[in-house]
Every structure is written in structure tokens, then in C-alpha cells.
Structure 1
Amino acid sequence: MDIKEIKELVEILENSTLSTLEVVDKDGNSVLLEKSSAPAQVAVTAPVQPVVTPVQAAPAVEAVQADVASQAPSQMPTGHEGDPVDSPMVGVFYRKPSPDDEPYVEVGTQVKKGQTLCIIEAMKLMNEIPAEKDGVVTEICAKDGDLIEFGQTLFYIK
């Protein structure tokens, strides 16, 4: 399990009603996350012996997925045109650099490859999401403050 996966698990826990989340990967490495009034604590352990029996963490994972899915907007926009720009992470979507500024892009905005389209806040870090190609923004699929899932479509660019 790499640090990116652990960060995504922390973000899921922070945005859910769960207080504890434990995940064990196929190699037997486990991650235990506990929510408290202090920042989330992460404990990563290496396997002491091979895992012989399956770990029954699936209900907790399903509960987190169901909780996140209930908070996320639909990913099935109709009438979209162009290529999708998908979120590379879980986080909170922002169209503007700050509340008083203008949005980075609007529908109809001509963009260049590498131009910032939005910001996704993950673990108190602001991550600029760049355009993957030159084109025109044909659809914006998320609203300011929306909880975004990994792989969720944010924009369409033609």
C-alpha cells in the first residue's frame, strides 16, 4: 500500500461518519485509521506471518463506499460533448482560487494544455488540476464545495 492510497483512505474517513477504518491488503499489510478530535492517526504494520484466512474488513469498506457515494454528485451527465477530465484524487472541488476571485474556467472558455481548470483540496493541500489538452470547455460537472471521488468526471473539453 503506497502513501497515495493511505492519503485517500484518510480523506474517505474524514468525510464519513465512521470513527475507525482498518484495511488489510493482499500482502497482509494493514492500515488502521481512527478519527478523533486531533488530526487522523495512521498506523501501518508489516505482516508478522502470512495471512491464512480472509480478513473480514469488507463490510467497513462497503460502508465507507456507500457513505461517500451518497455524498457525491452523479457522474452520469447527459448531453456531454468532448473528452472528459477526471479527478486524479478524492477531495473537495473548487472552481476559483479563492472565494472572491473569478472561476478558472466557464463553459465556452478556450483552454491550453496545462492551464489550471480547478482546485481539489485533499488533506488540507490545494491541488491544481490542469487541462490535459487544448480545447474549449463544453461542460462543468461539479459545483464548488462538492466532494469529488477518484476518477469522477469534472469537465468535458472539446
Structure 2
Amino acid sequence: MNLDQIKALVEMIDASNLTELNYEDKDLKLKLKKETIVQQASVPVQEIKEVTTPVIQQKAHETSDVTESGLTINAPMVGTFYKSPSPEADPYVKVGDKVSNDSIVCILEAMKLFNEIQAEVSGEIVEILVEDGQMVEYGQPLFKVK
């Protein structure tokens, strides 16, 4: 893979909803990760929408929502939910685990790409809302956090 091909990959990821790309062949191992800006709020999302710009609304919706029982970690893309890095491995998180903003909570597989999903909120996992291997939609709640 040459520099032009890498630049093209970076541009494609930047223009897409993907947050991470892992590529590996015999000579090269490449990991590209897109940083996202998240605005956390202490008020319900319905109230946030009235005072924020559309870009901030979308980013806040991608990662977490405020609910009556706390926060939810939402799917930032459509894909297949996996609770652990492999079938034999322990899950990234279980009910009762504490997470921080950069804690990996699951993997979403989209188009044969495995994307590690970060909590992007701090708190305690109180409920896992999806089953291992389940297809999830963009914005679908995956975890409840308090």
C-alpha cells in the first residue's frame, strides 16, 4: 500500500460514518481512528435539541442519551454487536462494571470491519440492552449507565 492509497483511505473514513478502520496484510498493519466530538448534557435530549446546533445534536445522539434512569451508550453505526473480542474471551463489560470515557464496551462489525466502541461516558453499567451477535441500528441504545 502506497502513500496515495493511505491518503484515499483517510479521506474515505473522514467522509463516512465509520469511526475506525483496521487493515492488515503481510507487510503492513494499519489502524485509522476518527475522533468525534461529544457534548455531554445534564438535561434530557429533547431540551438539548432546542438550544444546540444540528452537528452537536447528532454527535450527542451517536454516543449517549440521557434517560429517566441515567445515560445510554448508543450504537454509532449499523452493525453486529459483539460483547467480547472473540467467542472464548471475557466480555468487555458486565453489569456492575465501572466505565470511563475511553473504556471499550463492545465491538460493532460493519462490512467485515470490527470497530471497538468506547463508552464516551463515565459511570456504572446497569443493563446490557442487546444480545451477543444481534444486529443493531444507528443510534440504538446498547447499554444503560448510571
TM-score by length of 2: 0.54
Report the alpha carbon displacement of residue 157 of structure 1 after superposing the two structures with TM.
1.0
**Aligned mates of 2:15, 2:79 — CA distance in 1:** 16
**Residue 87 of structure 1: aligned partner:** 75
**Residue 118 of structure 2: aligned partner:** 130
1:56-80 Cα offsets, whole Å, 9 max, x none, are xxxxxxxxxxxxxxxxxxxxxxxx7
| 1:4 equivalenced with 2:16 (yes/no) | yes
Percent identical residues = 48
1:40-60 Cα offsets, whole Å, 9 max, x none, are xxxxxxxxxxxxxxxxxxxxx
Q: Which has the larger radius of gyration?
A: 1
TM-score by length of 1: 0.50
1:147 corresponds to which of 129, 135, 139: 135
Report the alpha carbon displacement of residue 3 of structure 1 after superposing the two structures with TM.
5.4
Runs of 5+ consecutive residues of structure 2 not aligned to the other structure:
1-13, 19-67
**Moved segments of 4+, more than 2 Å:** 2-5
Equivalent pairs counted in the alignment come to 85
State the Cα RMSD in Å: 2.1
1:83-142 Cα offsets, whole Å, 9 max, x none, are 011101000000000000000001110111110000000000000110112110011000
Counterpart residue type for residue 86 of structure 1? N
